[in-house]
Amino acid sequence: MKIGILGAGALGSAVGGSLALAGNDVELWDINEAHMKAVNDNGLKFDAADGGHVVPLFACRPEEGQAQDLIILMTKTCDSDAALKSARRHIDNGAMVMSAQNGLGNDARLAAYVPKEQLLYGCTMMPARFLDLGHVASQTAGRIVFGAHDAAALEKASEFAQSSQHFTLDFAPDRADIVIWQKAAFNCGINAVSALTGGQIKTLADSQDARELVQAVASEVVAVARASGVKAEYQPVFDHLAKSMAKHGEHKASMLQDIEGKRPTEIDSLCAEVARQGQELGVPTPLNQALATLVTLKSDALNGDTQ
């Protein structure tokens, strides 16, 4: 299968490397010229769960890519519009497009650019770190759980399901929304609180008050999901939080990395979106609203957007 990874940062590169190791013909599409050059010159250095690999991949800007069967959108949600515009030629030529981003509402963002019969949406379950230009790492085998809304897209989607030692494309239309909301609950807690505290995950793990706060934030998200008709569950989220704190203490949450790098965060598609939907549904979300406001203020201050 020919797969274009649209957005080849740490996670996108790790997903691309994993899918290539599984036997797919993968291209990395990004605007980071230095990273792409390193991949083209030396292959993608990928420290996977089973050891180090050098994966030969072609990396280029999206508009320079070859025809693909599937495009997997891996950019930050705030970069979705620009990324999809850059891939317009591929979309017009009939490529299926799958959002595998963090946050909520990604399927609606794609719908502005992708015909409904070509639109898939899902959620990536895979931690990743950027070590150097052309060099990424992930501690676990990855997975994308995905589905579709349109009947024609659903029929086509099943062709992309695959499983290997390194990566699984899990076609599960009955579970996709549940997984997306449960991942959002995890990220609203871990990412937003970490972005404000400035510490590694172990900073949260070592504080009972912090652990309780993160769980309370996540609980609000699950409550909104259930009110919207999505059968999200609390315990899997709590288990995911506990596992992350126990095993990934040295990790810096991606939103904290964005704050430190003075880059836009995904707070609008996480806590802010939860608060917006909660207000519409009559579900209180005071913690998510507060975190959305505070992270936005912090990001604006660091980027000189305050007056």
Tens-digit pLDDT profile for residues 265-302:
999 999 999 999 999 999 999 999 999 999 999 988 88
Collapse the DSSP code of 298 into the 3-class scheme (helix H, G, I; strand E, B; otherwise coil) and give the result.
Answer: helix
Cβ-contact 272, 225 below 8 angstroms: no
pLDDT band at 305 (very low <50, low <70, confident <90, very high): low
- How much is the average pLDDT of 79-99? 95
Q: According to the model, what pLDDT value does residue 249 have?
A: 67
Q: According to the model, what pLDDT value does residue 257 have?
A: 87
Cβ-contact 91, 84 below 8 angstroms: yes
Q: Where are the alpha helices (DSSP H) in the chain?
A: 10-21, 33-42, 80-86, 88-92, 106-111, 151-157, 176-197, 201-205, 208-227, 234-247, 254-260, 271-281, 286-302
Sheet holding 129-132, edge to edge: 51-55, 44-48, 135-137, 129-132
Of all helices (H) and strands (E), which one includes residue 99?
Answer: strand 96-99
Cβ-contact 23, 89 below 8 angstroms: no
170, two tokens: 């899990």
CA 232 centroid distance within chain: 18
pLDDT tens digits, residue range 179-230? 999 999 999 999 999 999 988 888 888 899 999 999 999 999 999 999 999 9
**Maximum pairwise Cα distance, the chain:** 54
- How much is the average pLDDT of 48-60? 95
User: Which residues, 6 or more positions from 57, have their beta carbon under 8 angstroms from its beta carbon?
Assistant: 16, 17, 20, 26, 27, 28, 39, 43, 44
pLDDT tens digits, residue range 98-113? 999 999 999 999 999 9
pLDDT tens digits, residue range 136-192? 999 888 999 999 999 999 999 999 999 999 999 999 999 999 999 999 999 999 999
